[in-house]
Every structure is written in C-alpha cells, then in structure tokens.
C-alpha cells in the first residue's frame, strides 16, 4: 500500500508539455463520477467498500479535489454514504431500505408508463426489442453486465418519456436497485427478467396501459423478491486493482 504522492505520474504527467488534457480537461470530475458509478452498479465495488479520496484519486490520476466532487454527487444520489470526518463508503442498504426503494421504484415506473402512452412510436419498440436482444446475449456471459443491462431497459423506457426529472429519478432507483441486487441477490436472479421485459413490450404495443402496468408491477415485485434472501456478500479486493479497469474512459 505504498501510494506516495509521487506516483500520480501514470496518467497526467510526463516531461512533454502537451500531456494534461487526457479528456479535453474540464471533465475530470464528470469522468470520475461516471466511472465510480458504473463500478458500483456493476458490482466491481461491493457495498461497504471504502473510498478514500486520494486512493481513488491516484487510481484515476487526478487530485482529491476532483474525487471529492464526484463523491459529493454519489452521496447525493445515495450510492455512497459518508459521515462527517469519515471515509466515504459504497452504500450498503438494509433490507428495510431496499424494500422502501423498490416501493418508490414501482410508483415511478408506473408514472413512466402513464407518460409513455400515446407517445410511443415504432422506432421506440424497435429499440426496446434490440435492447432485450442484447440482454439475452449477455445473459450467458457476465452476471454484472446482465444486471446492468436489465436496469438499462427500464432507463430506456424512462428516456422515451422525455421527462428529464422522471428520467433522473428512475435512473437513481435503477442504480440503487442494481446495488441492492448486488448485495442481496442470488446469482442468476436476472435470468427470467428478459421474458418479463418482452411481455411488457407486447402489452405496450397493444396500447394496453393497465396490462402493462400490471406486468411492470409484477416484474418489479419479482425482481425485488427474487433476491432478498441470500446474503452472500462479496469478498474483499484491492481498490486500486478494481478501479484500474475503469480508468481509460475511451479515447486515446
């Protein structure tokens, strides 16, 4: 664990003068935020994992300032918790909290369906079906990927409403839902979800709001209950190790 201040050289450094703008600058906080978020949702960072500002900073090659602002955001959306002078940690919701979150989620997704009616076009259905296809494809591979995609299906629906606030709220409950499944979910819990997504799409195509709402509700109850027994919490790993996979955000 020797992480002296000298080794932030791995990204933004070098003798050359033109280093610096790894991602065109001005975006570092956003990038760290996004990466941490993904890492949490994909279960790479298990609930309870400590997030010391400078360790995270060195992982991404940025200063604490940047990490700090990312963490403030994550705390604001409940993915990370933090007490006054103490290290931030990945949230680890209790069963009670988990249930409360899923209740809110059910309400929000009902709203999504209501907003969606009479707004859905053929192109939307195409996208939904395409997404389900990729869900099916991922099902056989990685579990975290599968959970993430399953959540993104719901996010996609929300996005079709065009209601910014609703999108953000759904996005939050979906994220936290993933976190919860990571905590309490038993493996393969996302398997059957694909069929349920398909059934939902069909109800929407028929313009049957009540049926869609019923299916959605059933689906969410299923997702919520499917998981809540097995408390097989994930084992430890090095923070540096985990985050190294989330560093190179895309461009050279």
The residues that touch DNA, with contacts defined as CB under 7 A, are 1, 3, 5, 8, 12, 20-21, 25-29, 51-55, 61-66, 68, 82, 84-88
CA distances for 228 relative to 98, 115, 121, 152, angstroms: 9, 30, 36, 21
CA–CA separation, 248 vs 30, rounded Å? 14
Stretch that binds its own copies, among 7-15, 128-136, 150-158, 165-173 (CB under 8 A): 165-173
Dihedral, CA atoms, 67, 73, 77, 83, nearest 10 degrees? 60
User: How many positions of this chain bind its own copies (CB under 8 A)?
Assistant: 31
Stretch that binds its own copies, among 35-43, 148-156, 160-168, 238-246 (CB under 8 A): 160-168
Stretch that binds its own copies, among 4-12, 158-166, 189-197, 226-234 (CB under 8 A): 158-166
Q: Which ranges of the chain does DSSP label H, i.e. alpha helix? A: 28-41, 53-60, 64-76, 95-116, 122-139, 143-161, 164-184, 193-205, 209-227, 239-244
- Phi, psi dihedrals of residue 51, rounded to the nearest 5°: -125, 75
Which residue lies nearer to DNA by CB, 52 or 107? 52
**Which residue, among 242, 42, 244, has the nearest Cα to 148 in the 3D structure?**
42
The one-character DSSP state at 85 is T
18: its two tokens: 């033109």
Among 32, 116, 157, 173, binds its own copies (CB under 8 A): 173
By the rule CB under 8 A, 208 interacts with its own copies: no
16: its two tokens: 């050359």
By the rule CB under 8 A, 87 interacts with its own copies: no
Among 38, 53, 89, 115, binds its own copies (CB under 8 A): 115
CA–CA separation, 73 vs 33, rounded Å? 7
Which parts of 51-70 interact with its own copies (CB under 8 A)? 65, 68-69
By the rule CB under 8 A, 95 interacts with its own copies: no
Which residue lies nearer to its own copies by CB, 63 or 205? 63
Question: Which positions lie near its own copies, rule CB under 8 A?
Answer: 26-27, 65, 68-69, 72-73, 76-78, 84-85, 97, 100-101, 103-104, 107-108, 110-111, 114-115, 163-166, 168-169, 173, 176
């Amino acid at each position: 664990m020797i992480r002296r201040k000298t080794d932030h050289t791995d990204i933004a450094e070098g003798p050359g003068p033109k280093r610096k703008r790894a991602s065109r600058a001005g975006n570092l906080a956003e990038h760290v935020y996004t990466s941490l978020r993904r890492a949490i949702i994909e279960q790479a960072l298990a609930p309870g994992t400590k997030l010391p500002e400078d360790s995270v900073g060195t992982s991404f090659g940025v200063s604490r300032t940047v990490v700090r602002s990312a963490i403030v955001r994550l705390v604001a959306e409940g993915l990370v918790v933090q007490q006054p002078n103490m290290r931030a940690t990945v949230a680890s919701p209790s069963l009670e909290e988990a249930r409360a979150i899923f209740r809110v989620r059910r309400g929000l997704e009902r709203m999504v369906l209501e907003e969606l009616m009479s707004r859905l076009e053929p192109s939307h259905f195409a996208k939904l079906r395409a997404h389900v296809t990729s869900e099916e494809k991922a099902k056989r591979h990685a579990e975290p990927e599968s959970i993430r995609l399953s959540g993104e299906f719901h996010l996609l629906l929300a996005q079709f409403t065009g209601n910014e606030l609703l999108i953000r709220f759904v996005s939050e409950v979906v994220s936290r839902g993933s976190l919860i499944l990571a905590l309490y979910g038993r493996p393969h819990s996302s398997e059957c979800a694909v069929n349920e997504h398909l059934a939902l799409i069909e109800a929407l195509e028929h313009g049957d709001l009540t049926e869609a709402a019923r299916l959605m509700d059933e689906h969410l109850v299923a997702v919520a209950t499917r998981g809540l027994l097995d408390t097989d919490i994930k084992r430890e790993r090095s923070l540096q190790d985990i985050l190294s996979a989330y560093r190179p955000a895309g461009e050279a």
